[in-house]
Amino acid sequence: MVDPAVKEAAVARFLREHPEVERAVPEHPALRGWADVDWSAVPGCPAGMPVVLRGLLDEAAGPEALTVLDNVLMNGVFHMSPVMPVALPFLIRLAAVPGTAVRRDLIDTLIVAAELSSPADTESQVLLVGEERDHPERGACRAAFRAHAAALRALLEDEALPDGLIGADDRECLLKAVESWPPHGRGAAAGNR
């Protein structure tokens, strides 16, 4: 698990190195509603998270913003942080913006979130990613994917996407994230046994 102090320090460093991002006008449609989120109430969320999201739109700062964001969104190789489901609506909308400098990487982040959000249906999956009850961020991500299904489908149907940007398996994973997962994952299936 990544130490929250390390995440906070990475965000603070990003803000120091890219003060222009903090001063940028935040009115981009993909970030609509980010100011309404109580980021400080999200466990493990650094104070500068909204600025990091804004940094994804900056040509020069975008790659570093993405690196910092990935550290904030993950608590380990197979574990998302509680920040992921809160950031997910913005990531979906940012990935849909053709001019986003880090678009390919944002799509990869969405694929990782979709993969890690899928219910663990086998014992080996549970051993790898843990029990659903111990990782509420997975269910919250599934809810975020469903709530923003129209935006994700629009991204997947975008004919301007470069060929090969989203492979067939990844496309299927993202579609599954909005179409077929039950609201409560494994628990819903277990109740039918």
**DSSP code at position 181:** -
Convert the pLDDT of each residue in 106-132 to its tens digit: 999 999 999 888 776 767 666 666 666
The 3 state secondary structure assigned to 24-69 is CCCCCHHHCCHHHCCHHHCCCCCCCHHHHHHHCCCCCCHHHHHHHH
Q: What is the dihedral of CA 85, 41, 51, 148, to 10 degrees?
A: 30
Convert the pLDDT of each residue in 53-99 to its tens digit: 999 999 999 999 999 999 999 886 677 899 999 999 999 999 988 87
pLDDT of residue 25: 64
The answer to whether the beta carbons of residues 184 and 174 sit under 8 Å apart is no
pLDDT of residue 26: 62
The answer to whether the beta carbons of residues 66 and 105 sit under 8 Å apart is yes
pLDDT of residue 92: 94
Convert the pLDDT of each residue in 10-28 to its tens digit: 999 999 999 999 887 667 8
